[in-house]
């Protein structure tokens, strides 16, 4: 699907997966003018295919596009594009509980740009691929490390949207963590280097008694759709939910810590390593994410 001069998008079409043509001076290649989204298609036990809150992804892309000086498809166009692409690839959706069809929408600036200005043309595309569960251990607790030197976002930046440039900057910390046997990295704020922000691709929650806490949304925290759903469910289940600044010290007094996102779904944290010291998260009550 390509943008028109008035910023609207023409109706798109399906084509076989393959390389696409793009200008070497495209804004997405030279200035990072691009946004991604991530969602999944599942099969349930009766074989039907399920998508989760697709319209929320479409809305989040439009919000991010505005920040990046980009037009975006309407939410209706986004939903139709996702459902059409998934339907055309129905045979690739894994069986129930065996994985999922990863759906990757991408909005990018194309056309020749030789200076720091918005692209003259924008392309919206979606590709899909079947994958296994993100962590092979399933719902087993993961081991994470708190990163002190590298930050995933700064105030005034684009940490609260899915700009394509947000991810390459944390690859070094992620690679180091994986090499040292950790499952993921937990990042702190860039000003005080004390308050929790996010994992590499997931939001973070801590549980203490009947209270669930998570970093408050702002200019550095991505408004995760799974995060939003957990907060809504927690309220209905009678939990107190706090969206606030969460000091890193609270991790070690929590009854439970977990992460959530499109890629990881919801996973418990089993241990946290900070400054070389590893602490096991003791489950003092029935684990929230297993109980509910």
Indicate which residues carry an active-site annotation.
Answer: 162
Lookup: tokens for 6? 């008035």
Is residue 168 classed exposed, middle or buried when 0-12, 13-18 and 19+ CB atoms within 10 A define those classes?
A: exposed
Is residue 139 classed exposed, middle or buried when 0-12, 13-18 and 19+ CB atoms within 10 A define those classes?
A: middle
Q: Which residues of 99-115 are buried (b: 16+ CB within 10 A; e: fewer)?
A: bbbbbebbbbbbbebee
C-alpha of 220 from chain center? 13
Give Cβ neighbours of residue 167 (< 8 Å, ≥ 6 apart): 201
Give Cβ neighbours of residue 214 (< 8 Å, ≥ 6 apart): 203, 204, 205, 206, 227, 231, 241, 242, 243, 246
């Amino acid at each position: 699907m390509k943008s028109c001069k008035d910023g609207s998008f023409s109706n798109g079409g399906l084509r076989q997966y393959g390389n696409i043509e793009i200008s070497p001076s495209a804004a997405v290649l030279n200035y990072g003018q691009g946004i991604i989204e991530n969602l999944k298609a599942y099969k349930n036990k009766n074989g039907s295919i399920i998508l989760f809150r697709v319209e929320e992804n479409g809305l989040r892309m439009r919000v991010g596009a505005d920040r990046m000086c980009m037009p975006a498809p309407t939410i209706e166009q986004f939903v139709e594009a996702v459902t059409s692409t998934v339907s055309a690839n129905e045979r690739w959706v894994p069986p129930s509980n065996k994985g999922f069809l990863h759906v990757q929408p991408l909005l990018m600036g194309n056309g020749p740009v030789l200076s720091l200005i918005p692209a003259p043309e924008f392309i919206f595309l979606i590709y899909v691929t079947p994958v296994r569960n993100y962590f092979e251990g399933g719902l087993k607790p993961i081991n994470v490390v708190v990163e002190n030197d590298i930050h995933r976002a700064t105030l005034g930046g684009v940490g609260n949207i899915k700009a394509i440039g947000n991810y390459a900057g944390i690859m070094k910390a992620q690679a180091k963590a994986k090499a040292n046997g950790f499952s993921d990295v937990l990042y702190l704020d860039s000003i005080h280097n004390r308050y929790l922000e996010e994992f590499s691709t997931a939001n973070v929650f801590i549980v203490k008694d009947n209270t669930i806490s998570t970093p408050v949304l702002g200019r550095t925290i991505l408004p995760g759709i799974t995060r939003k759903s957990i907060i809504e469910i927690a309220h209905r289940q009678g939990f107190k939910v706090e969206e606030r600044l969460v000091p890193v010290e609270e991790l070690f007094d929590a009854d439970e810590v977990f992460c959530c996102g499109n890629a990881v779904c919801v996973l418990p944290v089993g241990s946290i390593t900070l400054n070389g010291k590893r602490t096991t998260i003791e489950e003092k009550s029935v684990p929230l994410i297993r109980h509910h």
